[in-house]
Amino acid sequence: MTSVTTVKIRMKAVESPDSILQSEQSVDMITCNNSWQLKSSFVYKVGNYTSHDLNATVFASQVITASFSALFYLVALVLSALSVCFKSFVKLTSSHSTFILFLIGAIMLTVNVFNTSGNETIMLYLRIISAFVVGIAFVLLGAIRFFTKPTRPPTLGEHEPSMGLVVTMITIPLNTIELMIMLGAQASKNETPHTLKHLRPLLLTDDVIFIVQKFIQAGVYFWLRNTRPCEAYRGNAQFYFKILAFFNFIQWVDTQVNVESDFHLNEARAVYGGWFDVLKAVYTALMIDFRLLCSLLFFEHSIQIQSETDGNTEAAEFEKNERNSAISMRMTSSDRQRRNAGFLIGFSCFLAPFFSAVQYVPKLHFPVYIRSTANFLNSICIIACGTVLLFKNSLGFDKRDKESMSVKVMVSAL
C-alpha cells in the first residue's frame, strides 16, 4: 500500500525588509510498505520570476542564436549562388567588404557556440545541418563549378607543394580514431543514462556526418590543388574559399569549447577503459590541428586568387617557388595527382590492420566477416597495385638497367 502526502512550506527571507528572494519547498512524504521516504523539490523565486521562467529565457536565447547562425550560413550560400547567376554580385562577394560580413558572422557564431554548449539538442542539430549543407554539399558543388584542370602550370597546389599530403596524413588517423570512438559508443549503448538516450540518434548522425565531411573535404582539397579557378568564376572561387575557411574556423572554436562535453556524452570509455584517455588526447590534438590548418589553407588560397586577380603576383615569386620545389615542378599535374592517389591508397591499406586490431576488443562485438572482407579487399588492392607497377615500369632485360630493374621488382612485390 503506497500513499503520498505533500506538504508545501513557503519561506521568505527576513534579512531585509526589501528582500525579494522567496522559495517554496515541496516535500512529498511517501509511505511505502510502512516505511517513510522523503522526496523534495526546490523552486526558487526572484521577484516575480520563477526558475521555470529563467530556464525558458535561456532556452529562447539559445534558439535565437542558433537560428541566426543558421541564417548567416544561408545568406552566405545565397550570395554565392546569386554571384553565379548575376555578375553584379561578383563585385560584392569578391570585394574587401566581405571581411566585415565574415567578422559579424564570426562574432554571431562564436557567441552561439558558447551559448548552446549547455543544450546538446540544439548544438547537435546545428552541427548536422551546417556540416551537411556547407561541409559536404557546398564543398562538392563549388569544386565542380568554379575550378578546372589547367593544361599548363601554375595550379593552386604549387604555392604549398606538400600541404595536400599533410592534410591527408592528418585526416586518415583522425577519422580512424573517430570511427573507433563511434563504434565504442554503439557497443556501450546499453550503459547510456536514461536521460541521454533520446540524444543517441543525433549523436550517431553527428559522428557519421562529420566523418564523411572530413573525408570529402580532404579529397576535394586534394583535387583542387591540381586545378585553378575558371576565368569566368575567379570571384566566385575566392568567395568559395572564404566560406570554407570560415566554416572550419567555427568548427575549430566549437572543438575548443565543446570537446569535453562531446566525450562526456560518449560512452566509449566503458569499452576501451584506460585507452580511452589516449584516444581522447590524440583525437583532440588532431581535430584542432585539422580544423585550424584547413581554415588557414582555404583563407590563403582565397588571398592567392585575389592577388592574381589584382595583378600583384610577381614573376620572381614563381621563379623562387620553382627553385624551392624543383622536383615537384618537374612533375606534371597528372603525375602529382597519381602520386597523391598512390599515397591515399597506401594509407587506406591500413584499414585492414585496424579492423584486425578492433577484433581483439571483445566489448565491441565486431563481426568476423568484416575483418575477413577487409583483409580480402586489402589483398586484392595490394596485388592489383603491384601488378600495375610491374607492367607500368620498363622491366626489359638490359645490362645497364639490371640493378634498377631488381629494385623495381622488389618494390612492386612489396
In a domain, residue 287? The reply is: yes
In a domain, residue 318? The reply is: no
| Exposure letters 29-38 (e unless 16+ CB within 10 A, then b) | eeeeeeeeee
Q: CA-to-CA distance for 398 and 258, rounded, in angstroms?
A: 63
Cell of 38: 522523503
On whether both 67 and 42 belong to a single domain, the answer is: no
In a domain, residue 377? The reply is: yes
On whether both 169 and 213 belong to a single domain, the answer is: yes
Element (H, E) at 205: helix 200-224
Residue 40's pLDDT is 42
Residue 37 pLDDT greater than 70, yes or no: no
Q: Name, of 50-54, 288-292, 391-395, 407-411, the range with top average pLDDT.
A: 288-292
> Which residues have a Cβ under 8 Å from the Cβ of 110 and sit 6 or more positions away?
250, 253
On whether both 270 and 222 belong to a single domain, the answer is: yes
| Exposure letters 51-76 (e unless 16+ CB within 10 A, then b) | eeeeeeeeeeebeebbeebbebbeeb
In a domain, residue 321? The reply is: no
Neighbours of 19 (CB within 10 A): 10
| pLDDT-based confidence at residue 322 (cuts at 50, 70, 90) | low
Residue 199's pLDDT is 80
On whether both 12 and 89 belong to a single domain, the answer is: no
Place of cell 574587401: 96
Cell of 383: 596485388
Q: CA-to-CA distance for 72 and 66, rounded, in angstroms?
A: 10
Summarised one tens digit per residue, pLDDT across range 247-298 is 999 999 998 888 887 777 777 777 787 788 888 888 888 898 899 889 988 9
In a domain, residue 109? The reply is: yes
In a domain, residue 324? The reply is: no
Q: CA-to-CA distance for 287 and 199, rounded, in angstroms?
A: 22
Cell of 84: 553565379
DSSP count for the chain of H helices, then E strands: 16, 6
On whether both 187 and 231 belong to a single domain, the answer is: yes
| pLDDT-based confidence at residue 192 (cuts at 50, 70, 90) | low
**Which of 311, 344, 359 is a domain's end point?**
311
Q: CA-to-CA distance for 99 and 116, rounded, in angstroms?
A: 25
Cβ contacts of 386-394, under 8 Å, gap ≥ 24: 386/412, 386/413, 386/414
Angle at CA of residue 70, ends 56 and 306, nearest 5°: 145
pTM: 0.67
In a domain, residue 303? The reply is: yes
Residue 358 pLDDT greater than 80, yes or no: no
On whether both 15 and 65 belong to a single domain, the answer is: no
On whether both 399 and 336 belong to a single domain, the answer is: yes
Summarised one tens digit per residue, pLDDT across range 73-111 is 999 999 999 988 888 888 888 877 788 889 889 999 999
On whether both 25 and 123 belong to a single domain, the answer is: no
Task: Please state which of the ranges 20-29, 180-189, 278-287 shows the lowest mean pLDDT.
Answer: 20-29
Residue 319's pLDDT is 54
Distance set, CA 378 to CA 369, 375, 385 (Å) = 14, 5, 11
In a domain, residue 104? The reply is: yes
> What ranges in 230-268 are assigned the alpha helix state H?
234-265
The closest alpha carbon to 159, from 304, 291, 289, belongs to: 304
Domain of residue 38 covers: 2-47
DSSP code of residue 192: S
Q: CA-to-CA distance for 347 and 374, rounded, in angstroms?
A: 14
Domain count of the fold of the chain: 3
On whether both 42 and 79 belong to a single domain, the answer is: no
Residue 75's pLDDT is 92
Q: CA-to-CA distance for 341 and 335, rounded, in angstroms?
A: 10
Task: Please state which of the ranges 331-335, 349-353, 370-374, 404-408 shows the lowest mean pLDDT.
Answer: 404-408
On whether both 338 and 222 belong to a single domain, the answer is: no
On whether both 72 and 35 belong to a single domain, the answer is: no
Cell of 377: 579487399
On whether both 190 and 161 belong to a single domain, the answer is: yes
